[in-house]
Each structure stands twice: as structure tokens, then as C-alpha cells.
Amino acid sequence: MDRYAQVMVRCNQYSVPARFIGHRLRVKLSASTVTVFDRNTVVAEHQRAIGKGVKILNLDHYLEILLRKPGALPGATALAQARAAGVFTTTHDAFWAAARKALGDSPGTRALIEVLLLHRHLEHADVLDGISAALTVGSVSADVVAVEARKSAQRRGIQPPPVQVIQRSRQLVSLTERRLAELPGDDRPLPSVEVYDDLLGVASS
């Protein structure tokens, strides 16, 4: 497999998960599909391309790379193909726009990619429900999306598998900034400590 996470089959290129870059993989070609194996394990499957010089790319195969290089996502061919296939929806775009507005371009795009990774463990419709629920409360946190997506699955009587935790880069984060970016505002009054003065008075008497 080449450094672009693609295999060449009959003059057309097909994506495979980026973790297999540099590996030797086996390809099975049928009249309608291209199936890629790592030994006996299927690692990618595509509809067979018609013609020559065609690229068939699955956005999911590049997510780990894009998590490190989020600036490559907007112009990615894999993203364009995901949009055309209806896999990347207007709901994803709404989350992406909100995340970039709240966090900035690169962090906001990373938040989107973390959400896209949830599709590996949760049903597509449940992730979309999770995104909508998160946006309703003003959150652009992938963790909130994951919680709400699992709730959506449970409402349908499905117990979803545990979602793998995304290993985020270690950096100092202002909890105040994170709260403002990810959570809806809290307009409750600050608690009063006057009652504790009364307790101290009773204890000292």
C-alpha cells in the first residue's frame, strides 16, 4: 500500500485504513466489489470503479491522519466523496461550523473528526441524533455527542458498545474557556455562605 493509504487495482485507486500504510495487503476483485484483506481479515471494501484513473476513497480511512492534520480536511477528496454519498450530512456541517466558531478552525475541525470517529461504534442515525442534541444545548463537545448518541440507541432498545476514548494531545486547558465553549450558560445566582456564619455562631456559644 502506498503512502496515501491507497491500493492500485486495475488502474484505479481504493483507500484502506491509514494504519496499513507500507503493509502488503491482499486484494480480491469481483465484478462489483474490491475487497482488501490483511491476511484473512477484511480491512476495506469498495464498489468497483468504472473506467480508469478513478479514486474511490472512504473518509473514515483517513480520520487518524486528519486528527493530526485537521487543515487537510476541507479540501480532501474523501470528504467530497462522503458528501456526494450522503455519508457526511448537513448535520455534520452544522456541527463543524459551530465548533469552528466556538473553538477556532483547527480545534473545531478536530472536534468534528472525533465525532466522525463515533460512527465506528455507533449507528449513523444515533450519531446524527447526538449531534443535534449537543447543538441544541450549545455544546460542541464530542463527549456530549457520544453520550446523546448512546441515549438515542437506548431509546430504540439497543445497548451500544463502549465508545473508545479519543486520546487527545496533552495541553493545559482553561476550565473556564472549555466550559464556555462546550456548555450552555448558567444564569443561576451564586450560592450564599451566610448560613455558615450562623452555624459558626451556634458552635461558639
- Residue 140, domain member (yes or no): yes
Mark the ranges of the chain whose per-residue pLDDT is less than 70. Answer: 163-205
Determine the pLDDT at residue 150. Answer: 95
123-141 pLDDT per residue, tens: 999 999 999 999 999 999 9
- Residue 81, domain member (yes or no): yes
Determine the pLDDT at residue 157. Answer: 87
Answer yes or no: do 78 and 45 share one domain.
no
Determine the pLDDT at residue 198. Answer: 57
109-128 pLDDT per residue, tens: 999 999 999 999 999 999 99
Answer yes or no: do 14 and 79 share one domain.
no
Answer yes or no: do 83 and 50 share one domain.
no
Answer yes or no: do 52 and 103 share one domain.
no
Answer yes or no: do 20 and 113 share one domain.
no
Q: Which among 61, 103, 102 has a CA at the least distance from the CA of 79?
A: 61
- Residue 65, domain member (yes or no): no
Strand order in the sheet with 55-56: 6-9, 12-15, 55-56
Answer yes or no: do 52 and 79 share one domain.
no
Rounded distance between C-alpha atoms, residue 91 and residue 136, angstroms: 12
Rounded distance between C-alpha atoms, residue 98 and residue 140, angstroms: 7
- Residue 29, domain member (yes or no): yes
* The total number of structural domains that make up the chain: 2
Domain of residue 156 covers 74-182
- Residue 190, domain member (yes or no): no
- Residue 63, domain member (yes or no): no
Determine the pLDDT at residue 160. Answer: 77
**Burial bucket for residue 195 (CB in 10 Å: 0-12, 13-18, 19+):** exposed
Determine the pLDDT at residue 201. Answer: 58
